[in-house]
């Protein structure tokens, strides 16, 4: 079993925030792959289903971003899922909006959700870093990530979330290069 974790903040007032792109991606995976409805467990919302032959648990921690690790650790412990079988989908300031990168291990780069997961599980989990761009001034970062995506952002956001959901089975299977290629092809075809 794999654990896919979308990071975000709970509550309607945060639903459209840039910081919640991880939640958005997990919600799209649930829709596209007919996963079970979300249930409350492990201080989060969980849904179970299959991607290819792999049984997958999707988790949206409801602990707020800064305490995400508690929810992730509880689910991982209960299901005995090792860190290398956890994929975290999260917002990334250091990537241009609409870009993404796969990564395993490494630092948290000041991301409070990742910092919390590091504190509970270490850094051996996999990540899907979803670019939201940077406001240009580090003093504006908090207000930037806690603002909703602009209407103009929907032109890249919706195709990106759809492409992630359509091809996430490749990442789950460990084929990150082909996953990235398919995302690039899918999002470029949407731009044309």
Cα 132 from Cα 32, distance rounded (Å):
23
Determine the length of the chain: 192
CB neighbours of 90 closer than 8 A, spacing ≥ 6?
6, 7, 21, 22, 111, 113, 114, 127, 128, 129, 130
First to last CA, the chain: 38
The DSSP annotation for 137-191 comes to SGGGHHHHHTSBPPGGGHHHHHHHHHHHHHHHHHHHTT-HHHHHHHHHHHHHHHH
* Sequence-ordered list of residues with C-beta below 8 angstroms from that of 52, at least 6 positions apart, any chain: 169, 172, 173
Q: Are 90 and 113 in contact (CB under 8 A)?
A: yes
Catalytic residues: 19
């Amino acid at each position: 079993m794999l654990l896919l974790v979308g990071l975000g903040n709970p509550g309607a007032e945060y639903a459209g925030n840039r910081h919640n792109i991880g939640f958005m991606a997990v919600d799209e995976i649930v829709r596209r792959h007919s996963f079970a409805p979300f249930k409350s467990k492990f201080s989060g919302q969980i849904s179970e289903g299959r991607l290819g032959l792999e049984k997958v648990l999707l988790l949206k921690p409801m602990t707020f971003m800064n305490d995400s690790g508690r929810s992730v650790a509880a689910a991982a412990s209960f299901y005995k899922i090792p860190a290398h079988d956890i994929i975290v989908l999260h917002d990334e300031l250091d990537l241009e909006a609409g870009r993404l990168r796969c990564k395993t291990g490494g630092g948290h780069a000041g991301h409070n959700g990742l910092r919390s997961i590091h504190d509970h599980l270490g850094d051996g989990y996999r990540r899907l870093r979803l670019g939201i761009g940077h406001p240009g001034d580090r003093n504006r970062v908090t207000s930037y990530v806690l603002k909703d995506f602009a209407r103009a952002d929907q032109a890249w956001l919706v195709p990106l979330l759809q492409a992630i959901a359509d091809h996430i089975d490749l990442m789950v299977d460990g084929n990150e290069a082909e996953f990235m290629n398919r995302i690039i092809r899918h999002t470029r075809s949407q731009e044309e």
